Structure 1
């Protein structure tokens, strides 16, 4: 390739734009803000799902949750770069629908949580296996192609369903919602500690913590929202859903302005 050809290629705006589109990562930088919003979305998804199921016919609620998820993911896939409100809207809808998926298996089909949790774990393992076989990486900072984005969101959906089943299983085993919250708050520290001492790699530590955020946030939200007869604060599903949604929106607006979560 001649030097002149290289210079022309560098100066060609259409070539530079195509390169930028191809290399734009669709996942935010993993910072403290990422984990805070992630926990908030899990809790909001839990209470919003329960609120919809109590307000509407369960079948209609699941249909609306699925439609909302489809719209949110379509908008996310259409974007050519990371856009905070698009990304986190998709996460919220995954949380709502993932909760519904786990609840449908348990409530409507009668599948025990100690059965559905291993099923969802197997589904997540299958997604990871296919993702790694295809791309040779599970790193979220390399989500720059449509195929990797598809694998990423499939994994996210599986983690939410798995986390929902796991959190409900521990709560039903006698720990209660507050006890479950304490358990998962301790559990989420384990991947960070193992990463620090070199036992876990960055990718394994990330996905381990990502799974645990689901039952952590859901247990906290349930503890705040559900009736006192169930060992909770009885603040109500509506108020808890609204307050957590306001917190999410505030943080997303801040990140949209500050760009703190852009690599």
Structure 2
């Protein structure tokens, strides 16, 4: 990914824990590395294809001047998100907020907070086998669309499949969703659980019937093993109802643990089924 660097942008703001800081204000310095594709701008030499660093500098200056935070951690976090939402060509940024001569009662030249934030490519598996199945799935997708921290939502065709694991239940409609998000994996999991609850999901039987089921399959190429979240999804390679819709969206996506593409995993599972 190409990078545009902004160094030592001086901004006067009113951020700090002490009342003197918020009343009198002080100078802050901003350093930013913008990750974006500069190729179209480089070939065309047209500003419309560029991530305009001039506009970004003015945006950061105005943001610092019109907001007040106690912590520079909050300044960095909130401004990074605002930038990523405001400038669509910006895929990621490294942002440093420097606070010269921070009032800690000791000789100190500078304190700074530096963070990296960006859009993450995510793939979900979605399913429903209760009530108006297609309507439940569409409602879940609509709720994803409504979230400002999510963009570029794409949905596969839906397929009907037999239940998996617990088989004494109605057939499922299954699909896959591709999206980009600013959420961390845990934040995204929390959102998905909230959407499931809002659409009436009840967790009564393991692998049991549900109005809507939303599972994170891939989050970039991250490998996560936590008590309530495993990414890539631990059993996806054994679930044709996951691989078939996923193959419609990203056949070439490589599983970061198994090191095989979605298309290869699907083909292997089909071949296993043929030999049973």
Query: Would you call these one fold, judging by a TM-score over 0.5?
Result: no
More RCO (CA 8 Å, sep 6+): 1
Q: TM-score, normalised by structure 2?
A: 0.27
More strand by share: 2
Q: Normalized against structure 1, the TM-score is what?
A: 0.28
The structure with the larger Rg is: 2
> Which has the larger helix fraction?
1
